[in-house]
Amino acid sequence: MRAEARIDLSAITFNIQKLKAHSGTNLLAVVKADAYGHGLVRVAETAVKAGADYLGVALLEEAITLREAGITAPILAWLVQPGSDFARAIDLDIDLAVASLAALAEISSASTTKKARVHLEVDTGMTRGGFLDEWTSLTAENLRSVDVVGIFSHFARADEPEEAQNAEQLKRFTAMVEHLASLGHTNVIKHLSNSAATLVNPASSFDMVRTGIAMYGLSPDVKTLGTSATLGLRPAMQLRAALYLVKDVPAGTPVGYGASQITTSDTKLGVVTMGYADGIPRIAQGLGQFPAGVWINGRRAPIIGRVSMDQFVVDLGADSKAHSGDWVVVFGNGSHNEYTADDWGAASGSINYEIVTRIGPRVPRICEAHVY
């Protein structure tokens, strides 16, 4: 095997239980995008066993995959486009987000022997999905043919706790909940909090919180909220790969496409068997304020040169004892001073969310408790 993403399911269990206890309410485990790259079915099974009350996905096909895997827990799919197989969703007891009167009408018409279970999505300031101008036009008659299970919205700046927009969204959400109650729907699940709000804004917890990045042990924002360690979370993914080749090179040797870097001294270089086709950011650099690279034999080895499609090169150092075939850690939980997903995000001008979710399908997921 040339590369693998090792997923510590015990870390996910720990994080979910910590977040649920911290929130004091129900918890929806967000497992969209292949569980943020960690493996959809295994993570969903783990989340339910850990005490998650709901599972959340973006796409209907993700929800169907979970049902076909035998998962019976409540599932909410919130990005289901017009023309989708709503009848099958209803038959499989998959909750659907509704963000417009047109979507509500289409889903209502798909109901046959049983009503569709819906969560009304309202736009409180994210200006993305959700009812906005149509909300005051919503009537009890519009909702007669569906089972209104919940109402929800999404924070735009929860990872910036001091921003006034958070309070404005909370106030607006409360008002929109009151309008729904005026239509006779009072016994519904109200959910607004994402990971950041779950951690720092208890006023927004309502009946359920939705935890995505935090359940995987990563900080929603390192700069404003602190690191995983600061937040008491355990990163679940370790990405590692094999060295295809180790070789000695002299000072002044250009490396990679465009000869973007040149060795400054005699050294050993290692060729890592992953590249941008596997999700390694091409833009990531080994030097500068935010470096990236690999960890091997107790120390870091930075990237040198550009990341290629299937491989990248690291500077192991002249005294390195590494050999071809040795395993290197691309990122992990940082407990041994290895690079983290946060480091790779900073090195590529991105965020840890993108680093873990972009790991490609040709990298197998090894999902076990205490796998690393």
Active-site positions? 32, 257
Are 5 and 238 in contact by the 8 Å Cβ rule? The answer is yes
Are 267 and 286 in contact by the 8 Å Cβ rule? The answer is no
User: Which tokens sit at 215?
Assistant: 């359940």
Q: Where are the alpha helices (DSSP H) in 159-292?
A: 164-182, 195-200, 222-225, 228-231
Distance CA 98, CA 107 (A): 8
DSSP state of 314: E
Beta strands in the chain (DSSP E): 3-8, 26-30, 54-57, 75-77, 94-98, 116-121, 146-152, 189-191, 208-211, 237-249, 254-255, 261-262, 267-272, 293-296, 299-302, 312-315, 327-331, 365-368
Question: Strands 261-262, 254-255: parallel, antiparallel or unpaired by DSSP?
Answer: antiparallel
Tally of residues, the chain: 372
Are 316 and 248 in contact by the 8 Å Cβ rule? The answer is no
Is 166 in a helix, a strand, or coil?
helix
Distance CA 78, CA 83 (A): 15
Kindly report the number of other CB atoms within 10 A of residue 108's CB atom. 18
- The rounded radius of gyration (Å) of the Cα atoms in the chain is 23
Distance CA 184, CA 174 (A): 16
